[in-house]
Amino acid sequence: MQINRLFETVYILLNKKNVTAKELADHFEVSIRTVYRDIEALMFAGIPVYSSRGKNGGIKLLEDYVLDKSIISKSEQNDILYALQSLKAANYPEIGETLSKLNTIFNKSSVDWIEVDFSGYNEVQKKIFENIKNAILNRKVVNFEYYNSNGIKSKRSAEPLKLWFKIKAWYLYAFCRKNSEMRTFKITRIKNLQVTEEIFERLVEKIPLKNEYSETETVKVIFEADKSQAYRIYDEFSQENIKKKENGNFEVVTENVENEWLYGYLLSFGENIKIFEPLRIKNILSEKIEKMKSNYK
């Protein structure tokens, strides 16, 4: 399309300052006559472009010219650049070229204000993340194996809609064809993902994002954690769920789905936790501790 070619022509002139008609013709794979027609179109649009002859001749922009940005405020320019910077940090390296072009157009230098460290992911998980991203952008159905919090494996076919970061983890938000409903899947539990050639039409609406247990009944748990566990308590619970006691320990009130994950989580505090409620969970943990002790006899 001509509009894209005109935009890129201005971008080239902003960067190279001086190019020949032949160079532009070769770059765009068009005739030299088409290049001069494009230059005329830019001149009519108010872009101060001109051509000169001689040894250093060529097509140029007036010195110190920057693309008119009056329709976008400085604040809006920064918002656009910061948004693109965050996308680049979130494993979208192809955004870098677009970011570079807009920095040139807005006459700004790039500020690396955000960085996301994916070092916790192995190469297989990184590939899964990348494939999910591409499936979302190309609207392709994905098939995969999924392990729930109880370690039960199931095969899923889903229409991927969003990558969602929540509570220190990445999730896939998708329409699950197995359950015929919107679900979230933790990326680290997705295995053997395959992107199919099937295109889906479903659009994302403003649907409240819920976790994969949103339809499951939760249980209120009240416990006291030793003051030595402050780093975990403040990292893993909201301030309104924490009450600091006179002895320096923490009383925590939280709601969770009752399953093996919850039991394992509470046991991970070792001797630094005391369960108050519910009594049922307290008894279950006591039984598990006795079984653990028997393993070391």
Does residue 111 share a domain with residue 47? no
> Domain tally for the chain?
4
Q: What's the rounded mean pLDDT across residues 142-149?
A: 90
pLDDT-derived band of residue 69, with 50, 70 and 90 as boundaries? very low
Reported for 29-34, long-range contacts at CB under 8 A and 24+ positions apart, including other chains, are 30/5
Whether pLDDT at 200 is above 70: yes
Average pLDDT across the chain, whole number: 80
Please indicate, yes or no, if residue 209 is contained in any of the structural domains: no
Please indicate, yes or no, if residue 206 is contained in any of the structural domains: no
Please indicate, yes or no, if residue 223 is contained in any of the structural domains: yes
Tens digit of each residue's pLDDT (9 = 90 or more) over 11-26: 788 777 788 888 888 8
Please indicate, yes or no, if residue 95 is contained in any of the structural domains: yes
Q: What's the rounded mean pLDDT across residues 30-49?
A: 84
Tens digit of each residue's pLDDT (9 = 90 or more) over 101-143: 666 656 565 555 555 555 555 677 778 888 998 898 888 999 9
Within 8 A by CB and 6+ apart from 256, the residues are 218, 219, 221, 262
Cα three-residue angle 77-81-84, rounded to 5 degrees: 140
Report the CATH number at residue 167.
Answer: 2.30.30
Please tell me the predicted confidence (pLDDT) of residue 247: 93
Instruction: Check: pTM over 0.75? Answer yes or no.
Output: no
Does residue 139 share a domain with residue 172? yes
Please indicate, yes or no, if residue 204 is contained in any of the structural domains: no
Does residue 112 share a domain with residue 127? no
How far apart CA 184 and CA 174 sit, in angstroms, is: 6
SS3 250: strand
Between the ranges 65-69, 167-171, 184-188, 266-270, where is the mean pLDDT highest?
A: 266-270
Instruction: For residue 30, give its domain range.
Output: 2-61
